[in-house]
């Protein structure tokens, strides 16, 4: 565990200096703040040319602020890096579980990326956004991959109707697909097979998905049976293999190992007559949440996986497959900040000082779920010296609702704006209405313009799905 001094700067300006250094490096996932972050003449934080305090006055808080430039830059870097380092065909698809909404789908699609979805809801959101962009059904199908370890039959029917590639996770799913195909003998379902590579990486236990003890994918000892079964199903068009070793990964060696293992499996599949020509190596590149984090750049990660796959193909005398990657966090995570308004203060002599904000675990469940750490600044007084150690508490009726424990900040006042960095991935997508708090709004900022991409929920929204049986009204006085 890092000391407070190691985890904090002396003023908010220091974070901006580090963000500028990251911009020179050119990789958004290495930046603490969005690439457009700067300080204005009022000593306020600006992102996308928009003053954060002004945004809070206009849209309220908590408020997700998404920087369009940072998101587009990350998309561009992934796409161009694969063109540079991979000699075969490649496709980058956004792991939309990180944050799925119409606005983000639109931006990512306009940058030439496809989509990985993991539920009927994400599938519906993505298709609707792409239809609004006038994408053809064929183009949508070609750029959409459907994940999940327990897809419902209804979800599979929708995916089949769309024509997207289904990444098959287990035997039950295979059997359901075959039965659904029997209803239409002319139907051929495009699939990838998800395999568990047994590769360990140093990340949180909940987000390590590549080790053998995982709920995801077919085990390696099932390959002969699996490839035999799939090769006998005329309704299944097995286009390739998929594996994913985890999330928030900083090491490159596990991805080198993954490329080698998957190419060997690809060759084995082809020996069974499967025309596998796609290799999906998942995602998992980490981002910088605190100063000590040092993830590889997007370019370094792409170079590593590309060279590993090409080397393995050459060793096995195989043509280069279509290489697919599924970044999520490293695309959108660093592009967003969350702005809160500071409220009450509680000082416990010789123990701790609590500073409360107007949000917490309902808009960012990652600290209580994963013990995640973040960096913060007081956005309306960036140059103020960091003079006290405080704990940032959420407003929920839950003692564990602590956003950040023991961090240095300037002396704050009620009404100050606290900004938490790198909140684009899994914050809104995991948000809840715990304590019946409405979920926050989200704005997209670019060149001084701010546009709502998610409207703030109202109290009426909270009860919109409630139903009161008529018989209960008879008990009313």
**Per-residue pLDDT reduced to its tens digit, 71-123:** 999 999 999 999 999 999 999 999 999 999 999 999 999 999 999 999 999 99
Region 355-360 average pLDDT: 97
The answer to whether 353 touches 390, Cβ cutoff 8 Å, is yes
Domain 69-329 has CATH 3.20.20.10: yes
Closest CA to 340 of 365, 314, 363, 309: 363
Whether the per-residue pLDDT at 201 is higher than 70: the answer is: no
Closest CA to 163 of 177, 147, 144: 144
Q: Which helix (H) or strand (E) holds 7?
A: helix 4-7
**Strand boundaries in 422-465, DSSP class E:** 441-446, 449-454
Which residues sit opposite 168 in a β-bridge? 193
User: DSSP per residue over 69-81, as a string?
Assistant: HHHHHHHHHHHHH
- 69-329: same fold as 4-67+333-462? no
Whether the per-residue pLDDT at 8 is higher than 90: the answer is: no
Closest CA to 336 of 36, 66, 70: 66
State the DSSP code for 386: -
Closest CA to 289 of 427, 394, 386: 427
Higher pLDDT, 477 or 95: 95
**Per-residue pLDDT reduced to its tens digit, 265-277:** 999 999 999 999 9
Residue 255 has a pLDDT of 82
**Poorest-pLDDT segment among 17-31, 80-94, 354-368:** 17-31
Topology, domain 4-67+333-462: Lyase, Ornithine Decarboxylase; Chain A, domain 1 (2.40.37)
The yes-or-no answer on residue 313 being catalytic is no
First-to-last alpha carbon distance for the chain, in angstroms, is: 58
Whether the per-residue pLDDT at 304 is higher than 70: the answer is: yes
Active-site hit among 75, 101, 164, 397? 397
**Per-residue pLDDT reduced to its tens digit, 425-472:** 999 999 999 999 999 999 999 999 999 999 999 999 999 999 999 888
Hey, where are the domains in the chain? Answer: 4-67+333-462, 69-329
Residue 246 has a pLDDT of 80
Which token pair is 329?
Answer: 């966090």
């Amino acid at each position: 565990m890092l000391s407070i001094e190691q985890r904090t700067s002396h003023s908010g300006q220091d974070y901006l200096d580090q963000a500028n250094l990251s911009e020179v490096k050119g990789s958004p996932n290495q930046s603490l703040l969005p690439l457009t972050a700067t300080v204005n003449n009022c000593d306020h934080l600006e992102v996308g040319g928009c003053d954060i305090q002004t945004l809070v006055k206009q849209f309220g808080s908590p408020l997700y602020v998404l920087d369009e430039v940072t998101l587009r830059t990350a998309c561009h870097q992934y796409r161009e890096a694969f063109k540079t380092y991979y000699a075969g065909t490649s496709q980058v698809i956004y792991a939309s579980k990180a944050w799925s909404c119409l606005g983000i789908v639109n931006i990512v699609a306009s940058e030439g990326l496809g989509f990985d979805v993991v539920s009927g809801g994400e599938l519906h959101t993505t298709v609707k956004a792409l239809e609004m962009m006038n994408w053809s059904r064929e183009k949508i199908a070609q750029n959409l991959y459907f994940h999940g370890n327990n897809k419902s039959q209804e979800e599979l029917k929708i995916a089949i109707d769309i024509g997207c590639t289904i990444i098959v996770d287990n035997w039950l799913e295979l059997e359901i697909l075959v039965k659904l195909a029997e209803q239409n003998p002319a139907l051929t379902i495009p699939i990838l097979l998800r395999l568990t590579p047994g590769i360990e990486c140093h990340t949180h236990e909940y987000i390590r998905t590549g080790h053998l003890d995982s709920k995801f994918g077919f085990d390696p000892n099932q390959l002969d049976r699996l490839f035999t079964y799939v090769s006998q199903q005329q309704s299944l068009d097995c286009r390739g293999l998929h594996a994913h070793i985890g999330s928030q990964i900083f090491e490159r060696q596990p991805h080198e190992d993954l490329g080698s293992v998957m190419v060997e499996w690809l060759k084995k599949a082809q020996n069974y007559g499967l025309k596998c020509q796609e290799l999906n190596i998942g995602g998992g590149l980490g981002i910088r949440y605190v100063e000590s984090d040092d993830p590889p750049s997007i370019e370094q990660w792409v170079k590593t996986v590309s060279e590993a796959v090409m080397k393995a193909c050459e060793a096995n005398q195989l043509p280069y497959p279509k290489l697919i990657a599924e970044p999520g966090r490293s695309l959108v995570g660093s592009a967003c900040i969350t702005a809160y308004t500071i409220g009450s203060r509680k000082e416990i002599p010789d123990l701790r000082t609590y500073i409360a904000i107007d949000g917490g675990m309902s808009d960012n469940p990652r600290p209580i779920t994963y013990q995640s750490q973040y960096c913060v600044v007081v956005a309306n007084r960036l140059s103020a010296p960091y003079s006290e150690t405080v704990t940032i508490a959420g407003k929920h009726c839950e003692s564990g609702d602590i956003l950040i424990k023991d961090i240095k900040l300037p002396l704050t006042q009620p009404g100050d704006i606290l900004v938490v960095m790198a909140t684009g991935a899994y914050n809104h997508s995991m948000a809840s209405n715990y304590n019946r708090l409405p979920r926050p709004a989200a704005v997209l900022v670019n060149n001084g313009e701010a546009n709502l991409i998610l409207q703030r929920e109202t109290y009426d929204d909270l009860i919109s799905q409630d139903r009161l049986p008529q018989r209960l009204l008879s008990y009313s006085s």
